[in-house]
């Protein structure tokens, strides 16, 4: 039996709890500064409430950080120093320097640490990653991703403040930055435009153009200005074919080559990406094996986001830190 301690029982804390609850060999504890919300959560998920984060650290085998992003650094460092295997929601932190402090602490203490970059577990993204790596489109050349919906609020409205959430670039587009790195390799140049730092109220939107080390080009679009509902699309064009995905279409994944086209809909209930992500973390926490998405992966995705922000502010193309 593994006792998992969730800190932050808002939107993501509940999503994680739903999936932890499906694992018969996990018991849940939780801490949140919002006492009524914590009490309600504990009742719903049969979790024991802790009185403080320190109490959670003392009484749990593993820690699951589901706090607003500006609080990740402090809590992650305390969990790592306590040598509790830890999973932390994306984005890992708000800046490369904060992420670097986590990477350094993970290395110093040898603590198992996973960044919750869940898109790697979404069936279409996972399958497309494999198809592309297996050469289904030949040499990838042009990538286009789009992700968005209405602006999230979060408890107290923290998502709307870029100083707390990083805005659409850091909070939302990070998903695609990570998937692009994982699938196509490192990003060496970023040029971006955005509404993030303008006076346009309640609308956040960005389009970033990434140049990959391979020479491929990716257009990554993120929006919190789409009240029509959440939608994700991607298209990858290579020397021998195209793969496309639209979260509103069925079948969800379509591969088109000169010799024909085929459709797939790889979704099934046991494919839930959050369940698979938490299960993978649990396996690493129990065995000490290398987690599938590391603190360094979290840092590298934030480095692309940070370069995009720098590009928005300067109007120039920017090389991501460490590229
Ligand atoms: N992977 C995904 O698909 C996905 C989706 C949404 C959000 N997220 C990420 O998950 C994280 C949490 O987002 P959310 O939507 O759950 O936010 P939220 O505002 O819904 O929940 C945050 C919770 O943290 C609690 N909290 C705040 N300060 C605290 C403190 N000092 N100690 C203990 N509890 C505290 C709040 O009371 C609240 O219950 C963010 O980093 C966000 O970017 C990831």
pLDDT tens profile 164-175: 999 999 999 999
CA dist 309 to 59, 155, 159, 195, 209, Å? Answer: 40, 25, 16, 11, 12
**Is 286 touching ligand 1 by the criterion CB < 6 Å?**
no
Q: Which CATH number goes with the domain that contains 245?
A: 3.30.360.10
**Is 11 touching ligand 1 by the criterion CB < 6 Å?**
yes
**Is 71 touching ligand 1 by the criterion CB < 6 Å?**
yes
pLDDT of residue 253 exceeding 80, the answer is no
pLDDT at residue 227 in the model: 77
Tell me: do 102 and 127 sit in the same domain. no
Tell me: do 166 and 266 sit in the same domain. yes
Residue 288 lies in domain: 2-118+274-292
Question: How far does the centroid of ligand 1 lie from the alpha carbon of residue 154, in Å?
Answer: 7
Residue nearest to atom 7 of ligand 1 (CA): 12
Q: Which CATH number goes with the domain that contains 50?
A: 3.40.50.720
> What is the rounded distance in angstroms from the CA atom of residue 213 to the CA atom of residue 30?
42
pLDDT tens profile 97-146: 999 999 999 999 999 999 999 999 998 999 999 999 999 999 999 999 99
Q: Is 130 exposed, middle or buried (0-12, 13-18, 19+ CB in 10 A)?
A: exposed
Tell me: do 170 and 149 sit in the same domain. yes
Query: Is residue 247 a contact partner of residue 125, using CB atoms and an 8 Å limit?
Result: no
pLDDT of residue 58 exceeding 60, the answer is yes
Tell me: do 71 and 105 sit in the same domain. yes
**12 CA: nearest ligand 1 atom:** 16
**9 CA: nearest ligand 1 atom:** 39
List alpha helices for the chain, DSSP H. 11-20, 35-45, 53-59, 72-81, 96-109, 123-133, 162-165, 167-171, 174-184, 273-287, 295-314
Tell me: do 162 and 307 sit in the same domain. yes
Tell me: do 112 and 127 sit in the same domain. no
Mutation test residue for ligand 1: of 32, 65, 168, 179, the one with most atoms within 8 Å of CB: 32
Tell me: do 134 and 83 sit in the same domain. no
321 in a structural domain: no
Tell me: do 310 and 201 sit in the same domain. yes
Tell me: do 137 and 209 sit in the same domain. yes
Tell me: do 125 and 267 sit in the same domain. yes
261 in a structural domain: yes
pLDDT tens profile 70-95: 999 999 999 999 999 999 999 999 99
48 in a structural domain: yes
184 in a structural domain: yes
Tell me: do 57 and 171 sit in the same domain. no
Q: What is the mean pLDDT of residues 192-217?
A: 89
Tell me: do 264 and 287 sit in the same domain. no
Number of domains in the chain: 2
């Amino acid at each position: 039996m593994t006792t998992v301690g969730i800190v932050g029982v808002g939107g993501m804390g509940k999503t994680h709890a739903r999936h932890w609850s499906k694992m018969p060999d996990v018991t849940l504890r939780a801490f949140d500064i919002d006492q009524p919300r914590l009490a309600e959560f504990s009742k719903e998920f049969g979790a024991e409430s802790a009185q403080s984060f320190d109490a959670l650290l003392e009484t749990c085998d593993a820690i699951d950080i589901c706090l607003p992003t500006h609080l990740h650094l402090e809590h992650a460092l305390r969990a790592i120093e306590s040598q509790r295997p830890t999973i932390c929601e994306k984005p890992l932190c708000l800046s490369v320097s904060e992420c670097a402090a986590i990477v350094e602490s993970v290395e110093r203490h040898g603590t198992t640490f996973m960044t919750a970059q869940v898109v790697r577990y979404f069936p279409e993204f996972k399958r497309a990653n494999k198809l592309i790596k297996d050469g289904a489109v030949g040499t990838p050349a042009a990538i286009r991703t789009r992700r968005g919906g209405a602006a999230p609020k979060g408890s107290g409205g923290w998502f709307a403040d870029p100083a707390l959430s990083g805005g659409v670039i850091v909070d939302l587009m990070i998903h695609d930055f990570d998937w692009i790195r994982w699938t196509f390799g490192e990003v060496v140049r970023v040029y971006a435009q955005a509404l993030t730092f303008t006076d346009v109220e309640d609308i956040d939107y960005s389009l970033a153009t990434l140049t990959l080390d391979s020479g491929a080009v990716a257009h990554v679009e993120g929006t919190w200005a789409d009240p029509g509902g959440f939608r994700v699309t991607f298209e990858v064009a290579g020397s021998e074919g195209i793969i496309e995905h639209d979260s509103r279409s069925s079948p969800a994944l379509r591969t088109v080559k000169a010799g024909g086209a085929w459709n797939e809909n790889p979704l099934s209930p046991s494919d839930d990406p959050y369940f698979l992500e938490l299960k993978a973390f649990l396996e690493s926490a129990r065995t000490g094996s290398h987690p599938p998405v590391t603190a360094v992966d979290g840092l590298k995705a934030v480095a692309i986001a940070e370069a995009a922000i720098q590009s928005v502010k300067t109007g120039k193309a920017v090389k991501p830190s460490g590229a």
